Amino acid sequence: MSLRHLPEGAKTRFGKGIIYQVQFSPNSNVLAVASSIGIWIYDTETYQEIALLTKYTDAVTSFAFSPDGTALAGIGGGGDNTIRLWDAAIGQQLKILVGHTAFVSSVAFSPDGLILASGSGDNTIRLWDIVTGKQLETFAGHTASVQSVFFCPDSAMLVSGSEDGTVLLWNLTIDEAKRNLQQ
């Protein structure tokens, strides 16, 4: 039976442990379930497990699909402070993004899927090139852990929210990026 054909309200178990996040891929062909032991990837038509993504040091607390659904960025609640990029179709790890100095709490892909934003307990937001895995930019302005990041639909702005009670808007226009690259 496909996930799409489960009766409304049907209870089913996905993996083991605590569930932290569930999300369908943008095309609804994959369901990802973040848990205390990794990220379970399921095919929504066959109801079969595709992969269990387990290279984390602790529970996986959050993840994001790329806009085309081909990639998944996952973050753990543990102490390695990394972001792991995965091929969402087969569960193969593509890259490990290293740069934050405290736990990563939030990730979001740009609408074109080429940039990943991450928020962290180090009070910063970082932008990453998905193709190369290199860090592009660091934004500092919050005085406490950054809990949420999100791109506006045209990718010109990024918004971040923090435990310090602030919401900050970040200008990502080409001119701003050029100024930052020259510094």
Residue range 115-170, pLDDT digits in tens? 999 999 999 999 999 999 999 999 999 999 999 999 999 888 999 999 999 999 99
Residue found by looking up tokens 């992969």 in the block: 51
Q: What is the DSSP letter of 7?
A: P
Instruction: State the residue for tokens 């740009």.
Output: 110
Which residues, including other chains, have CB under 8 Å from residue 179's CB and lie 6 or more apart? none
What gap in Å lies between CA 144 and CA 161, rounded to an integer? 10
Phi first, then psi: what are they for 179, rounded to 5°? -60, -45
Q: Where are the domains of the chain?
A: 1-98, 111-127+140-183
For the domain 1-98, what is the CATH code? Answer: 2.120.10.30
Instruction: Kindly report, residue by residue over 41-90, the tens digit of the pLDDT.
Output: 888 888 788 888 887 767 888 899 999 999 999 997 667 899 999 999 88
Enter the pTM of the model: 0.85
